Structure 1
Amino acid sequence: MNAIDGLEHLFRNVDGIDETLRQTGEAVLYLRVSTTRQMNTGADVDDDGNSIATQRQHAMQKARELNATVVREFVDPGQSAQTIEKRPEFKALLRFIDQNPNVRYVVIYMRSRVFRNHLDAAITKRYLREKNVTLVSAKENFGDGYMGDAMEAITDVVNELRVRMSGEDIRIKMAHKVERGGSVGRAKLGYLNVRKDFDGRLVNTIDVDPDRAHFIRWAFEEYAKNQVSVWQLAHLLEEQGLMTRPSSKRPARPLAASALARILRDPYYTGAIHYKGKLYQGRHEPIVPVETYLAVQQILDSRNRKGDRDQVHFHYLKGVLYCGICHEAGRASRLIYTQNTGNGGTYEYFVCSSKQRTGCTLGLLRVEDAERAVLKAVRRQQFSSATMAGIREEVTRALDEFQTSDRDARAALRAQQKALEEQETRLIDLAAEGQLPIAKIRERLDLITLQKAAIAEKLSRTEDRVQFGADQVLAFVDLLERPGELYERIPESMRRDLLLAFFSKLRVYDDTEGLRVESERTEINDTLHAWQAQQRHAATDHIADKKKRASRISAEGSLTSTTTGLNESNGLSNSILVGMTGFEPATP
């Protein structure tokens, strides 16, 4: 600014001053930028009108030329709206003019910064003219009269044309980017906008957010179980610590249920991009399997039917407990979790699902009693220190044996593979010489192809697969070191997963002494407990017959009839290490 700018007040109310220097009315300024970055740019850096500081400087200068006093300034920061109806400060400006009849000028930087279409410009000009207010552009001088009005109208039409052409160009470029698998806009929750080096140049791309992606994956998996509502799932995510990414406008905050519902409907997390009503294969890494996503859509659709609500009473034992009385009667009936309101509070119970249908005599079970009974069942899964050491030793021994035998087996398979390739070559030579019918040769070649595929499949079962099985068993053993303490320490949202790792079913009985839980263990848990029981029987040497030592035990810890996977030396076989299901999914 010049040194004398803003000093006109020194000449006010002084005799002899020219009348042209006296105030002719009041003025308001309207300043607007499209992005926050432009909002914070200084006038000494930007001279193109892309910052508030630059627009303010030129608008103030224009107001001084009009001898008008600036009484108010209205700023729309970061508003990229196409119409004035979507700009809150512009609407506030019009209300201010209604309430202050002394305002004679609305000073703007340029018409292109205010009006994106000629209709808004014409409507605004007519409204201001009725209020005896003139819209003045600081950088444009159209003159007075009908020629000035015509030039303003032409300028507004040209500005609208530029906006539309620019928008169309952007839409075409965005469509081409999506067709090639690229993502447009700000990264969705669970991903990050990053810049990576490709062939010596930095390129904007999308990468997985290491801090939030696992929350999104867990949310899809949990909702696919059909046990929680969207609102409950949002609450569980908040408890686990999921927060949105902070921005210049909004701080980090818990994910709202409405935002979570949009995420659950978005195929982007499966690696696809939904753009303009079509799906495209994206280049970004998927977070959620397609099968899980489709299961979530089915649940959402079923709950969005007319008259239905996405409201589910949630408890981590829901769907895990079964009625013991119905089991003895030959039925498989789950216990239903219910909430009853009355006497000034909400009370939680489990009730047999067959109670109304078959007249099951199991009464209402208090949730607290069921939780304590389940905790006792979990504590009974604990291994002794000697058993844990023995299992670890057996796993190591079995792994060593497999690695030794696997090398010999793989060598034999490669020899078979080579022999088949030689047969294939001889058959091709016979076909070229015409010594055998083509149909006969094709039949033999098809058989050789199948045999080679079988050998290739066997060769693909490498030591890594067995190592995974060994790690799986050892991880499960770690869980069984102090299962009761672990179960009490972890959040409720994780207790359900731990129960499903230990048990395939939990049957509840209501005896005179209280609730009692009998369990059916998962395959891996049952195998390890059976091995522990065999070791105990072998150590005491009470039963000589090995078959009797593998007799049935109850859920409290005696030997079960399930001895599948135990080899004749009472150890852990290689098939157990590779194929057991339970805490982790089985290998293919």
Structure 2
Amino acid sequence: MPKRSTPGPDGQAVAEDGALAVSYLRVSTKEQAQRGGRDEGFSLPAQREANQRKAESLGAAIVEEFIEPGESGTTTDRPALQRLLAYVKEHPVAYCIVHKIDRLARNRLDDAMIHYELRQAGVMLVSATENIDETPSGMLVHGIMSSIAEFYSLNLATEVTKGLVQKAAAGGTPTKAPIGYLNVRKRDELGRDIRTIEVDPDRSEHVTWAFCAYATGNWTTAQIYEELIARGLTTVPTPRHPAKPLAFSSVHRMLTNPYYKGDVTYKGVTYAGAHTPIVPIEVWYRVQTVLSAHNSAGDRRRRHDHYLKGTVYCGACGSRLMISNARSASGNIYPYFVCAGRHSKRTHCTRPAILVDKVEQLVADHYKTIQIPPDVRHAMLGMLDEEFAALHASSETERHQLTVEKDRIQDQRRASLQAHYAGALPLDLLKEEQDRLARQLDLVTARLDALDSTYEEARTHLQECLALAGDCQTVYACGSDTTRRMANQAFFTRIYLDADDTIRTEPTRSFGLLLDRDTQHQALAWADQRQNASKRPTRTLNHDVEGSSKTRGVEVAGIEPASSSSEPGLLRAQLVYVGLLGPYACTSTVVARPSLS
């Protein structure tokens, strides 16, 4: 018969022989602790009852109970466990009772450390369902059960990860859905539990609006954030965390998340998702372009915003030009561009302030100097079309070989994935193998793109750039502030204002090629050669040199044009340099198999 307990001096229950015990209860998830609509679910009461029976069999009284309602056993950083260890150091406790050893720890190191602290406090660890005590056989069982618990935990983690990888490969969402979507549990007609993703009717429209608004280039992330808060966008409430306003850092994370265009990324691998995209793919890519443009221009919400800020620099010291407002005696405000280096005393620059209106006019006038005349533009288009046609026609053999190579790599990727599902390839080796094959596939795909789609994309891109460069003065003069900002970022990496109030620019790579005088001369020479004009009047390029107030005349008729074989080769190398063609477009040499290491 179990020994009876009587109240002690402090009112706590004490066994007649004076033995005291503490009880430790744990479940791994909040869901387990609240299953069945009960405050403690089903597992915690069952553990408590088993621990109480064990205490009675030991003739001890449980004086304190420590409950962990939803904490993993893979770490010792658990509130109730730490309170238990502190309690036994301060109170004369004889036993620490757990339902099973795996309730206390899920790996041998943590188990040994906890057991050591209990023994240092004079406390014996007791399992309600396992034969664990301080005898040699009990300690052997303890070690075995601890190893089993660790194996179970590690094996479970491996199996769960394997299942999540397979789920992602099938288009499922293995993690918590981002804002705008809901994780939903359903049951099918057979009563099976189905976990799926649905569009959140209350939040998805705000997410879609944020993408569409930012894609216009008229909003900063700070403005998007403030508008989303004003619209009432909040996080999805959970049993542990109530709904709260979106954090500012979440806006950038949301705008760069490919999940919204239909992709799922897990363990560094991207898969086509089965969920419904709430952002059109072209809008998503447009947002990435705007984000990149804003970042490259140092774009952020400013006290004094202006479409030239972040693009104009001091020609003397290279510092950015910032806006400063000066107030006259009559109360009128005059905005000036001032050198940030001089303003902050970081440099010894003596650049005086200059009215914003004057800088605006100088930049607008500069577009007159870079506008490409119609005859040069037509010549460049013709030369480019001929080069792209030649590239496409000479690539059939290499295209076939690269297609075979691509199929081989894709077969290897599928084989490695099947080996992982069969248990023959661990996840870390799968990731390494998939990364290696992905690099090979990217290389082959890049070469195929250089033979096919990249040619057409580059041709289209250059045609659009030439059209813009042929009418850039009008576009800039008639455009909105947003259009002017994006034009400056498209044409120039930097706009310098020199000491004599002249404009000097660093063109971007794409427009640098088209605005380059040598390229324009080459195009006119090509056009002359195609017209078979052995003798013609001298033609000149007589428009302002980019970055200078002077004009420059260039003789073209007297130039001995390069042969048709070498001239496109130079152009091809230039296109590769600016990134409009892949690195393999400079050669038509066909190889049996590309080097993919």
Compute the TM-score of the two structures, normalised by the length of structure 2. 0.48
Compute the TM-score of the two structures, normalised by the length of structure 1. 0.48
